[in-house]
Structure formats: structure tokens, C-alpha cells
Amino acid sequence: MNSKKHDMINPEGNALFERVVSILDQARSNVVRTVNSQMVIAYWLIGREIVQEFQCGDERAEYGKKVLRELSAKLLQRYGKGFSVTNLRYFRLFYQTYSERSPEIRYMACDKSNILDGNREKHHKACDVLDDLSLANEKNKQIQGFSPILSWSHYRTLSKVENINERLFYEIEAEKEGWSVPHLERQMHTFLFARLLKSRDKAGVMELTSEGHHLKTPIDTIKDPYILDFLGLPDSDLLRESEIEKAIIKNLQSFLLELGKGFAFVGHQKRLQFGDDFFYIDLVFYNCILKCYLLIDLKIGELTHQDIGQMDGYVRMFDDKYLTEGDNPTIGLILCAKKNETIAKYSILNNNKQLFASKYKMYLPTEEELVAEIERERHIVKKEKGMGNS
């Protein structure tokens, strides 16, 4: 009897086979994870040995280069690849970055078991917007050991982040969300942490660096600016909104990652009827964490009062027609090439907790451009809060 007929006759045996396969696959995955975790500890210890050797030896730079060259040659001869001089420098940087940590893998809480089950020497320059946050030592002491989820490649990438608060945030998010190394690098290069700081005070930053990014209110979902470099479109006034929308649909997975946590795509050009008139919403998403819809209107020009009024109408009509039991009020987001701060301030955007306007950029900004943008936004927010308290 062939195996196919046997499976048809004995489905219980096939189910047993699948369960056994699942056990073996999980075991192998655990073995790989354990090996990766042990290598993280080993590289930390190697880094410590190198740092201590340098401290005890000749302080001249040439001495350090000689030590690394000799050590690399001996390790390559004995163990093969993986111990180049460059990697030894990474081990040293890794230890220097996490010298306060204990060389152990920390225990994972039960609420992170879904990640375990598989369901789910140039520094990264710190932004100036972080310089006034004297929280580094206070928060760094709260994390002991290293994550069983993150690989050596993750920690090598994290070691390039200068600011401790920023580094803690990326470590927590990479662990909680199961970020791959390329995705971690993208979030660092687009300064996700800094973009989330705009409306947060020191207590808010403390939360980011101890718990990661939690969605509690609509504003927690909003970034400014949004980086759409993955669309591959030119940064030009000649672009049409339909071209941007088409590119977003084509690169939907990347756009969902840029939107952030909990978003699912619902549709585009969603039709709303008001009397005899029809209106079309460019993009509609649903956030499974906040349990609310997000409507996005794309604008290639500068933000206007008409844009804000139109989005306000969209949100009101959408809430009236499509909300069901359990849904929270809809969020409206105007994505525009230029945001007129005066219009934003003296419009319903200023006090409506469901309507937002953010800029988008079709290219990855330079560090200086992004820092200047965030500094300017935070200055505006601080000024408005100061006026509100006076």
C-alpha cells in the first residue's frame, strides 16, 4: 500500500506525524536560538578580554592594531571565518556599549511566548533632540542580561546607536515585535525613536525606553514625517496623488511597516455617498490595537483649510455609516508634501484628537534635515503647551 492510500485510510496517523514534525521543528528552532544566545554571551566576553588587554598594555594605537591582528590570525587558523580584525573590533564595541550588563540571557515573560513560538566601527549618531533627556543611566540599569530573541547581528547593529535611551527603545521594540536586522536598521536610519518624541515629555520618553511603543491614544499612531523612500518615486511637484496611491498599493507591506503597529489594509478609493454626492477616500486602514479605522488623504501640495475640512467631513460620514459595536472613533490623517503650521494651528487640527496632518518625504532625509525637522516640530509643541498653561 502506498503512503498516499495509507494516509487516506489512517488520517489519525497523519495527524500524529504532523504533531511530531511540529515538536521536532520547534526543538531545532530552540537549538538554533540557544546557540545564537550563547554566541552573544561569548562575543561580549571576548570584547571584555580585548578591552582589558588594551587597558593593561601599551596605550598607543599601533599596539592595539597589532594585538587585534595577531589575535585574529590565531583565531582564524583555529576556528575559521568569523574572527576578522573588523569582527574583533565589533566585539570590543559590543562590550563597551553594554559593559554594565551581566553576561547572561534573561528570562522571557509569558506574554512574549508568542515570539518564541514563531508566530509572530561607525556609530549611529544621536539626534540633538535627545541631548536634554538625562535618563540614560537610570533606565539602562533596569535591563539585565541579553534577550533570547535577538541575535548577535541585532546587538552588533544596536551597538552603533550612541544615545542609551534610543538604543534601549530599539532593543525593546526589536524584541517585542520580532524585527529582522534589516527592519531594525531601517527604523534606526529613519530615526523612528526621534519621530515618536515630538509630543512626549520626559515621562513619555521614560515609557518609550522602558516599555517600547504602546498604542493608547490616536496620537500614538502618528509619525511626522513619514518616510516613503521605498516607493521609488521622485520628490517632485509634478507627481500626482494617484501615482503615490498606486505606488503605496504596490508596496503595501512596506507602507504598513512605516504606518506602525496594528494596522491592516481595508481598501482604497473608498466611496462615501452624501445625498446625491459621492466622495472617495484615498486609503482606509484598521488598527487592531486601538480598534479604530484610519482614513488617509494624500496631498501633493501644501496643507489647506479645505483639506482639513474635507477630512473632517470624511471622518464624520465614515463614523456614521461604517462603525460597528466595539469600534472606536475613526482617525483622519492628511499626508501632505508641505504642512503649513499656521493653518494647522488655527484650525480644528489644533484641538481635535482624531484629526492629524503629517508631512511625507519621498527620500531618506539626511540626519541634519531630520533632526532640524523634529527640533522645529517639538519647539512648536512645547510653545503651544506653554501657552495653554499660562
288-297 residue pLDDT tens: 999 999 999 9
In a domain, 277, yes or no: yes
Q: Is there a single domain that holds both residue 58 and residue 127?
A: no
- Global confidence as pTM: 0.75
Determine the structural domain holding residue 80 and report its residue range.
11-97
Q: What does the alpha-carbon distance between residue 70 and residue 120 come to, in Å, rounded to a whole number?
A: 43
Q: What is the mean pLDDT of residues 239-250?
A: 92
Q: How confident is the model at residue 276 (pLDDT cuts 50, 70, 90)?
A: confident
Q: Is there a single domain that holds both residue 262 and residue 364?
A: yes
Q: Is there a single domain that holds both residue 39 and residue 146?
A: no
Residue 174 has pLDDT above 50, yes or no: yes
Q: Is there a single domain that holds both residue 155 and residue 238?
A: no
Q: Is there a single domain that holds both residue 83 and residue 140?
A: no
CA-to-CA dists, residue 293 to 213, 326, 355, angstroms: 19, 12, 12
Total count of domains within the chain:
3
Output the pLDDT for position 349. 77
User: What is the per-residue pLDDT across 11-60, written as a single tens digit (0 to 9) for each?
Assistant: 566 787 888 888 888 888 778 878 888 999 999 999 999 998 887 765 66
Full strand arrangement of the beta sheet holding 226-227: 226-227, 355-361, 331-338, 292-302, 277-287, 263-274
Q: What does the alpha-carbon distance between residue 44 and residue 39 come to, in Å, rounded to a whole number?
A: 8
